[in-house]
């Protein structure tokens, strides 16, 4: 794996295959302990009962999490018909549905109507805030929680398998790709409601988070084994800081221009800019990641700087004027 974007320390992305059971916070806490660093974050919460891809960002990579917040997600979801759930998943209190369960043909006919831009009501047991309070805390206290619908996009929704061994409680497995912020629990609930029945989410695996796929994710056992002799054992597992940011064009700077960026100065790249973009990945001539920058009037304005000024280029001794 290319190390061009990694710094000297534990700076990079660890793509974890989270098992069902632990929370996303539990996984971050484990990585933080194994890596012996406080600078660890993750790229999108998974419920404890869910499994799958959880990108974990270490060191300087924590500063690029914001560029992944809008990443498209992919899931394999098990939808159980015949009952509704207070939490819209298997962990809630179940209430049997009134009326017959839907057929496979009815489900297949309903799925296209739940794709594209849709309005979705988040589950009552969710982290959405209402007047400063988490919805799940209100629901657990017995309060009625009415959450506003929000716009999400279901890009694809495909039936994978159908099990009607129990005809009153059929189970369907679907593959979903959706925008960030989509609640698959709510999608399962809505499938049931659309068919005049009831349904809840019985299992969930995140198969993709933006550029990160489950096939390449690492188990917790593999991560523990790598760090058995020390945190440095994790270095070969780390992906570069800018992995998955391929939509950000690359700008290569000279040594003097890199020195200016390290001081936080604007620079006008001698090689020019590759074209208009919201942000650019800035590299030195050796290919190492220097910064994430935006552009103003042909000059790069460093937003996230990943290199430090050398002693002779310290912020106190360097002029603050932009390099034009």
Q: What are the CA-CA distances from residue 76 to residues 149, 158, 177, 202, 210 (Å)? A: 23, 10, 9, 11, 15
Phi, psi of 24 (to 5 degrees): -60, -35
By three-state DSSP, how is residue 312 classified? helix
Q: Is 47 a catalytic residue?
A: yes
What are the tokens at 59?
């060191």
Distance CA 260, CA 267 (A): 7
Of 55, 45, 83, 67, nearest to 184 by C-alpha is 45
Of 196, 202, 200, 203, nearest to 102 by C-alpha is 196
The DSSP letter of residue 145 is: -
Which of 11, 47, 89, 242 is catalytic? The answer is 47
Do the Cβ atoms of 291 and 314 come closer than 8 Å?
Answer: no
Sign of CA dihedral 304, 309, 314, 317: negative
Distance CA 90, CA 123 (A): 13
Phi, psi of 92 (to 5 degrees): -90, 180
Torsion of CA 203, 200, 206, 56, to 10 degrees: -100
What are the tokens at 308?
């430090």
Strand order in 299-305's β-sheet?
A: 250-252, 280-283, 289-296, 299-305
Exposed, middle or buried by CB within 10 Å (0-12, 13-18, 19+), for 276?
Answer: exposed
Do the Cβ atoms of 189 and 199 come closer than 8 Å?
Answer: yes
Catalytic (active-site) positions:
47
């Amino acid at each position: 794996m290319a190390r061009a974007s990694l710094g000297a320390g534990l700076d990079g992305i660890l793509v974890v295959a989270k098992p069902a059971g632990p929370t996303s916070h539990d996984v971050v806490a484990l990585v933080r302990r194994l890596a012996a660093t406080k600078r660890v974050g993750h790229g999108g919460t998974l419920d404890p009962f869910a499994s799958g891809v959880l990108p974990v960002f270490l060191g300087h990579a924590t500063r690029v999490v914001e560029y992944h917040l809008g990443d498209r997600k992919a899931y394999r979801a098990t939808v159980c018909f015949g009952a509704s759930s207070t939490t819209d998943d298997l962990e809630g209190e179940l209430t049997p549905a009134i009326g017959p369960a839907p057929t496979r043909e009815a489900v297949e006919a309903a799925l296209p109507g739940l794709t594209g831009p849709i309005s979705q009501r988040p589950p009552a047991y969710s982290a959405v805030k209402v007047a400063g309070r988490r919805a799940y805390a209100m629901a657990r206290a017995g309060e009625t929680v009415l959450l506003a619908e929000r716009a999400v996009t279901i890009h694809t929704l495909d039936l994978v398998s159908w099990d009607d061994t129990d005809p009153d409680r059929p189970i369907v497995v679907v593959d979903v790709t959706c925008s960030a912020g989509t609640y698959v629990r709510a999608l399962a609930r809505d499938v049931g409601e659309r068919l005049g029945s009831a349904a809840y989410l019985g299992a969930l695996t995140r198969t993709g988070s933006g550029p990160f796929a489950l096939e390449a994710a690492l188990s917790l056992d593999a991560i523990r084994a790598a760090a058995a002799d020390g945190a440095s054992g994790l270095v070969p597992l780390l992906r570069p800081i800018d992995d998955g940011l391929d939509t950000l064009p690359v700008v290569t700077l000279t040594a003097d221009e890199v020195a200016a960026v390290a001081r936080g100065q604007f620079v006008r790249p001698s090689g020019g800019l590759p074209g208009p973009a919201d942000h650019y990945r800035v590299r030195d001539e050796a290919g190492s990641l220097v910064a994430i920058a935006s552009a103003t009037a042909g000059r790069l304005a460093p937003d996230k700087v990943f290199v430090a000024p050398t002693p002779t280029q310290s912020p106190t001794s360097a002029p603050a004027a932009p390099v034009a």
